[in-house]
Amino acid sequence: MQKESKSKRNKKEEKVSFNQSVWNTCKKIPKGKVSTYKEIAKALNTKAYRAVGNALNRNPHWPIVPCHRVINSDGKLGGFASGPKRKIKLLKSEGINIKDDKIIDFNKVLFKFDRLI
């Protein structure tokens, strides 16, 4: 069995730590609100919006971590591991209005975080 190098372990730990930070931040989005990949990144003091999306795509804690509440900055739904129909159904069940895969009254339901770091 080959030993894992120290630098590989550190990179894995950093990635897990970043992902965990994303999931912890996402848990703060209240029911009936949505936030964006960009807002989560800003709260974590980074511009790694795509990395936020990747972390949410690997979310093992759903529904405790409500990743379906995270959308694109333009109000479009963005991705969801269980598919767009499921994301729409979940958001509508929480009182979010959607038309043509876009949030209606986006600014009224947008949740912004205080900076966490």
Catalytic residues: 67
What does the alpha-carbon distance between residue 35 and residue 112 come to, in Å, rounded to a whole number? 7
Tokens of 107: 């600014």
